[in-house]
Amino acid sequence: MAFSDRLLRAWYEGHPGLALLRPLECLYRRITGRKRERFLSGQSPSYKAPVPVLVVGNITVGGTGKTPLILWMIEYCRQRGLRVGVVSRGYGAQPPQLPWRVRADHSADQSGDEPLLIVQRSGVPLVIDPDRSAAVQALLDAEPLDLILSDDGLQHYRLARDLELVLIDNARGLGNGRCLPAGPLREPRERLDSVDAVLYNGAAADRDGGYAFTLRPTALVHVANGQRQPLSHFAPGQALHAVAGIGNPQRFFNTLEALHWRPLAHAFADHAVFSEQALTFEPALPLVMTEKDAVKCRAFAGHDWWYLAVDAVPSPAFVDWFDQQLSRLCAPLTPP
C-alpha cells in the first residue's frame, strides 16, 4: 500500500501516530488562517470578475463528487438560458502554455483528466491554470459568458467569488476532523459556517445545514468507441475487474456491488497514469472503470473495457435553493 493510501486510512479510520503531527497541524492552521484573513480584510489583492463566479470545492483531501455535480450545474444553468464557462487548476496537466483552453480532442496528459471529461461530456468552454483568476480572464476574453463555475479553488483566494459550495463525502465525513498533515482537512471545520451551501455525496436525505445528492449510474459506455449499453448489459452476478483512480475508490466499488455485479477491485491513486500493461488482469473478465479514468485509456482500451456513466442527482431542496441563487445573481433568466 502506498504511503498516501496509508495516510488516508489513518485520517479516516484513526491511528495514534497522527498525534505526532499536531505541531505541524498548528503551523498549517496558522498559515491558512492568515491567508483567509488577508483576503477578507482586503490586504491581499483578488480578482473580481465582471460576471458571477461560483466555486465548487472541498475542505477535505480526496474526491467528493465535484465533477458530476459541476456537469449537473452546467446543464441546469443552460436550461435557465445562461452561458456558462468553467475554470480549473488542471491537476497533473502539462499544457504547452497557460492559461490553456481545453478541447474535446486534447489528451488527458495535456489538459488533465477531470477538465477533459467535463469538456467531452458537455462541450462547455473551459480554461485551466493554477492561477484561476488568469483562467477566468482568459475565458472571458474568448467567450461571452453569464457566469463561471470554478472546479475546486475554495482556498484560492486570489479569485473573488459570489457563491461557495462545499461537497463532503457522506460516508467519510471529515475524518478525524483535524487539518493537514494530522488529518484530511484543508481548512478547519469552522470554515463550513461561512460557505453558502454544503452538499453530502451519498446522503439519503437533506440534513440540518446541508443538502443531499447522489450519483446515479445511467449506462455502460465502451471505452474505445463510446457505444452505450444499458446497465442490464451485464447480468446480476457478473464477475468483472473494477478500476478506480479517484479520491475514494471504495465508493465506486460499492456502486458496482449495488448493481449486483461481483467486482474484483483494483484501486489506484487519484489521477493515476495508466497503461495497457497495468490494466491487464487475470482471469480474463470484462473491465469497468470510472469515466474519469476512461479519458486516459481510450488509445489502448481493450475490446471489453467499459466505464460506468453516472449523473449527479441533487435533492429538490438544493435545486430550489440553487435556482434562487441564479435568479439573484444572473437576472433575467428563462423560467425553470
Check pLDDT > 60 for residue 1.
no
pLDDT at 269: 86
Burial of 78 (0-12, 13-18, 19+ CB in 10 A): middle
Average pLDDT over residues 177-206: 96
pTM of the model: 0.94
pLDDT at 261: 98
332 band by pLDDT with thresholds 50, 70 and 90: low
Average pLDDT over residues 19-32: 96
pLDDT top residue among 175 and 63 = 175
Check pLDDT > 80 for residue 248.
yes
pLDDT at 230: 98
pLDDT at 268: 93
Supply the DSSP string of 142-199, one letter for each residue: HS--SEEEEES-TT-TTB--SEEEEEEETTTTTTTSPBTTTSSBSS-GGGGGGSSEEE
Decide if 297 contacts 319 (C-beta within 8 A). no
Coil, strand or helix at 305: strand
Share of the chain above pLDDT 90, in %: 86
Check pLDDT > 80 for residue 23.
yes
Check pLDDT > 80 for residue 5.
no
pLDDT at 7: 86
Look-up of cell digits 443538502: 211
Average pLDDT over residues 3-13: 83
Average pLDDT over residues 114-142: 97
Per-residue pLDDT tens over the stretch 206-229:
998 899 999 999 999 999 999 999
Per-residue pLDDT tens over the stretch 36-93:
999 989 898 899 999 999 999 999 988 889 999 999 999 999 999 999 999 999 988 9
pLDDT top residue among 43 and 331 = 43
Per-residue pLDDT tens over the stretch 152-174:
999 999 999 999 999 999 999 99
Per-residue pLDDT tens over the stretch 256-292:
999 999 999 999 988 888 999 999 999 999 999 999 9
Share of the chain above pLDDT 70, in %: 99
E strand spans, 11-109: 53-57, 84-88, 100-101
Residue type, 80: R
Check pLDDT > 70 for residue 140.
yes
2 band by pLDDT with thresholds 50, 70 and 90: low
Highest-confidence range of 11-15, 172-176, 330-334, by mean pLDDT? 172-176
Q: What is the torsional sign of CA 264, 64, 318, 82?
A: negative
Number of Cβ within 10 Å of residue 335's Cβ equals: 9
Average pLDDT over residues 192-196: 97
Instruction: Output the average pLDDT for the chain.
Output: 94
Per-residue pLDDT tens over the stretch 82-111:
999 999 999 889 999 999 999 999 999 999
